[in-house]
Amino acid sequence: MASPYPDGDREKVASKLPPGLQYELKVRAAELGLDMQDAVTTAVTDWRASTTSSPDIDTGGAKSFSTWLPNGLYEQFKDTCNSRGVSYIQGLAQSVRAWLDAHPSPNANPHPVEPRRLIVGNQKGGVGKTSVSLGLGEAHAEDAEEGAQELRRFIEALAHHELKRMGRKRADLLEMLEARTTGGQRVLVVDYDPQGHLSSQLGIPWIPRGEDSLVTHMVGEGQLHIRDLVVPVDDPRYAGRLHVLPASFDAFLLDSKITMATASVRGFQKEVALERALRPLEDDYDVIVIDCPPSLGLAMDAALYYGRRRRNEAPNRSGVVIPVQAEDSSAIAYEILIEQMEELCKDLGLEIDYLGIVVNLYDSRRGFVATSSLESWQAIEDQTVLAVIGDLKEQREAVRMQQPLLSYAPASAQANIMRLIALGAGQ
């Protein structure tokens, strides 16, 4: 609803906003020395001009809110809401939230404290996505000092040919170890693969069909808080810091459920589905690792969107880790995934950081195919080979024992390579 401004150049707009958002807007405008009406004008104008999908805002309990906007802007805003399939209240909430994110408090850290989001993906199966996802989670959650000591011993003992294969210098690895810290963090590993290998490898039961799951929360059908689904990894090495969101038996239906929700639920945005589900958990964690399915469907789009660089987030803090093998089919799968990422970025105006490649199950005894393929991975511009993992036994043994690798064999080469991946995959 709108009414004329006394001077005729603005009109009063009456709507609703959640109380918390109203308060934050009032405080931020005061901090920046702005009139609220000017802040809301900028918020609405920028939201209308944006080509990036905005996550839904919880508008439950929204209360009356009014301000003055330039003549005609509110009608234009309503037209944009209708074209995007969102309510006016939702559109205003998204506008204000985006403006607040783009105009941080002058007293705040310029990079908001939110979890790093590590997306482990490749459309090809069998390349080690699950083992890398678990390794990343374990390395970030274990005691920082213990992990650093193990890794230092490993780096100092590396032979020349091992360093050459990794494309690294010993001094550079030791310098990186001194400069960065990985352990001691609160970590959530999400079993996002319908095959559920991650849950099964740790002996964590799948969520039964018909019960609350990641899928139901992604499509807006969750009944419980998603926190109730999370399972802690009961191992003293992680001191309660490592948690898993288990697989569910309805995960095979995820793409079809997203399609149905997009068609039937007003304002549902398919790319935002994973973020909508996991946002309520983010305050509980420092790192969230997503073990992706071997596909390029809607579920993968949602994972890539979740790993995008958020507003005010430092480059290479979140992004995509791509496990591959040293053979030609992995190269083809890699190119298809990169194409999907680039198309998503172009369509939605996103920035998704490539955190690096992990060459898994490497065996030089396979001859020219393996060695030349490794050279090709190392030669890719704008990509980093984070690690080269041999065909080692410890991961298979840990799976058989249903234990985390870094607990089963903490001093093994494979465990230390996982620490190297965690150390090198952005900061």
Q: Where are the domains of the chain?
A: 2-102, 116-424
- For residue 3, pLDDT beyond 60: no
Mean pLDDT over all residues of the chain?
Answer: 88
Looking at residue 291, its pLDDT comes to: 96
What distance in Å separates the CA atoms of residue 111 and residue 312, rounded to the nearest whole number? 6
| Cα angle 248, 394, 388; round to 5 | 90
In this structure, the chain runs to a length of 427
Percent of the chain topping pLDDT 70: 94
- For residue 372, pLDDT beyond 80: no
How far does CA 200 lie from the centroid of its chain?
22
Query: 113: alpha, beta or left, given left = phi > 0 and alpha = psi -120 to 50?
Result: beta
- For residue 111, pLDDT beyond 50: no
Range list of β-strands (E), 315-371: 319-325, 354-362
Looking at residue 363, its pLDDT comes to: 64
Looking at residue 78, its pLDDT comes to: 95
CB 291 within 8 A of CB 246: no
What distance in Å separates the CA atoms of residue 232 and residue 204, rounded to the nearest whole number? 10
**245 membership: H or E segment, kind and range:** strand 242-245
* Phi (first) and psi of residue 30, to 5 degrees: -65, -40
Instruction: List 321's β-bridge partners, or say none.
Output: 120, 356
Tell me the whole-structure pTM to 2 decimals: 0.75
Looking at residue 247, its pLDDT comes to: 93
pLDDT, average across residues 400-427:
90
CB 421 within 8 A of CB 128: no
Name the residue type at position 121: G
Regarding predicted confidence, which is higher, 415 or 425?
415
CB 36 within 8 A of CB 25: yes
Task: Tell me which architecture the domain covering 116-424 has in CATH.
Answer: 3-Layer(aba) Sandwich (3.40)
What distance in Å separates the CA atoms of residue 173 and residue 157, rounded to the nearest whole number? 12
Summarize pLDDT for 315-334 with one digit per residue, the tens: 999 999 999 887 777 778 88
Cα–Cα distances (Å) from 133 to 54, 386, 421, in that order, read 27, 14, 10
Which two three-digit tokens encode residue 206? 């799948």
Looking at residue 281, its pLDDT comes to: 94
Residue carrying the six token digits 């030791």: 174
- For residue 66, pLDDT beyond 50: yes
Listed residue (383, 290, 298, 277) closest to 340, CA to CA: 298
What distance in Å separates the CA atoms of residue 296 and residue 292, rounded to the nearest whole number? 10
What distance in Å separates the CA atoms of residue 230 and residue 84, rounded to the nearest whole number? 33
3-state DSSP helix/strand/coil % of the chain, to nearest 5: 50, 15, 35
What distance in Å separates the CA atoms of residue 234 and residue 244, rounded to the nearest whole number? 11
Summarize pLDDT for 138-190 with one digit per residue, the tens: 999 999 999 999 999 999 998 888 888 777 889 988 988 888 878 999 999 99
3-state class (DSSP) for residue 164: helix
Summarize pLDDT for 96-108 with one digit per residue, the tens: 999 998 888 887 6
Pairing assessment for the beta strands 10-17 and 63-70 based on DSSP bridges: antiparallel
